[in-house]
Chain A
């Protein structure tokens, strides 16, 4: 059973329900023998649709590895990784790529925009990759860029934009195909405090929706106030979680039990 977005993209039924992401007992190591490093040590993690969940913790605690596993980019050695109702470990690499393109959006610390493409073209890439015509893809991207305050910057190239503007283009690229799960890796790390806060407020305003879960990895405690829930990670596990005051009118679900 599945539901659809306003543009008709099918999403797994579970996406519209509480636990968009459910990870249990995730184990992940790098290296072999004596050089083997256990990064995730049975991590449990949940993220609910309609919520913005922050994943925080010191450097090297496994945050990036965990979101890579949740994003279907890294495979884990043990545990359950259920995203939008789909067990990712059961998918082939091709199926994982298709799953990411259809249901996931990513915002990276370093933006990773294509320098030869304008802001508009960059934002339209996921739709083009899904086979939508360039014209229609750019129409939809333009609407999103306008919401993000880049109406006058659409034809500019990344090098002509400030860091904050580039990150807003990256957010547009991550959301243009209306993913059910948005994963943001340190979205403010390359920005100054003011730009970072602005970007995060915009992200919250544009990204949080009833059928979408948002996971943000961050070190930046100044933006913690924007979270619905914060998962604190330490030594490869989620050490504790805290529920923030409800920020979103779209928040309809109670938190699942966590470790």
Chain B
């Protein structure tokens, strides 16, 4: 009888398309918005993720996120280095800067200052130039999206000069940095140079990056640093999560995305529910006739659920394909860098689509189950 149910559905093309559209629309909207939401959260911790060598971050106790650092005295670096179990510790500087090109283009960017000697803190992958190039005078490394932001229509090249807070800087390397939360322009330079760009050379650390000696757990060293210095010290993973939680707690992003996702689900339920209701209404006499013939409610339930499952699966497939296509075709867009369709989101949305279809069919299902077979004798 499931085949009969599916034939009934396939025979009404208009409603079939309506049902599939409803599920596909919801799937697309929920997949796309949820994936962008998680992409934004990933951006909230992208600077932390890009520092691969260190496993402990030390900062002012008031700091809650990588995005809002508070200056430390440079003497704190020495104190951290002096703690037993710390293999090495280096300064790390982060600030928002105004960048201007010779052509007069002005952009906001993230400036990251890394240790002059070790150059610890810069991402591994250099697309042009090398890490050693950062040792040159006025040298900076920039992400490709930042270059295209400053020089629209041009492909990244080395040697171009820009001004950071009215001081000259020269692009010595192009580095594949993750997209940051506050700006598409990320600049890496030596710590000494970064402090000159921002505060006239005063030694003000944003963070101290540390690595425990071999065999020691980062959590234990972090606790020891915090206890000895009175500063906040956390592992990379802890700081990554704190930065994400800060965004979740202090911005309207979760509410905004949550609202769109909820609307997507509601619209899906409305479209699928109304269309399915109409489909059942149109076939109610036929359902009554089937009951009169002797087909039990359980089998009609199976038929209806099979119809719902068919619509759900096809609609979900189309919606997921549309979401995948969106991320595929927008991948080259710098503003959307780092956003992609998360497999976990696809799986979760499959569950959501199933709920949408189920919720949409419940009312119609009730009509099928309670329809009186005697109605078929009433003309």
| Chain B CB within 8 A of A129 CB | yes
Of the candidates B3, B291, B293, B379, which one forms a contact with A110 in the assembled complex, judged by CB atoms under 8 Å apart?
B379
Residues of A in contact (CB 8 Å), total 35
| Chain A CB within 8 A of B11 CB | yes
A189 vs B378: C-alpha distance when bound (angstroms): 12
Given contacts A73-B377, A109-B379, A110-B285, contact A126 B4 (CB under 8 A): no
Q: Are B7 and A121 in contact (CB under 8 A)?
A: yes
A116 vs B283: C-alpha distance when bound (angstroms): 10
Minimum C-beta distance from A21 to chain B (A): 16
Chain A residues within 8 Å of B292, by CB: 71, 73, 100, 106, 108
Chain B residues within 8 Å of A99, by CB: 294
Q: Which of A67-98 contact B (CB under 8 A)?
A: 67-68, 71, 73-74, 94, 97-98
Q: In the complex, what residue of chain A is closest to B295 when comparing beta carbons?
A: A129
Q: Are B293 and A185 in contact (CB under 8 A)?
A: no
| Chain B CB within 8 A of A115 CB | yes
Q: Are B295 and A97 in contact (CB under 8 A)?
A: yes
Chain B residues within 8 Å of A71, by CB: 292
Q: Are B291 and A116 in contact (CB under 8 A)?
A: no
A59 vs B276: C-alpha distance when bound (angstroms): 36
A16 vs B295: C-alpha distance when bound (angstroms): 25
Q: Are B294 and A102 in contact (CB under 8 A)?
A: yes
Q: Are B4 and A128 in contact (CB under 8 A)?
A: yes
Of the candidates A68, A98, A157, which one forms a contact with B374 in the assembled complex, judged by CB atoms under 8 Å apart?
A68
| Chain A CB within 8 A of B288 CB | yes
Of the candidates B7, B8, B293, B374, which one forms a contact with A126 in the assembled complex, judged by CB atoms under 8 Å apart?
B293
| Chain B CB within 8 A of A125 CB | yes
| Chain A CB within 8 A of B290 CB | yes
Given contacts A128-B1, A128-B4, contact A117 B379 (CB under 8 A): no
Of the candidates B11, B296, B374, B378, which one forms a contact with A115 in the assembled complex, judged by CB atoms under 8 Å apart?
B11
Given contacts A67-B377, A115-B11, A117-B11, contact A97 B290 (CB under 8 A): no
Residues of A bordering B, CB below 8 Å: 64, 67-68, 71, 73-74, 94, 97-102, 104, 106, 108-110, 112-117, 121, 125-126, 128-129, 134, 157, 173, 185-186, 189
Besides the known contacts A97-B291, A114-B7, 6 further A-B residue pairs in the complex with CB atoms under 8 A apart = A101-B295, A106-B289, A108-B376, A110-B285, A114-B283, A128-B4
Residues of B bordering A, CB below 8 Å: 1, 3-4, 7-12, 283, 285-286, 288-296, 299, 373-374, 376-379
Across the A-B interface, the 3 shortest Cβ-Cβ residue pairs: A116-B11, A101-B294, A100-B294
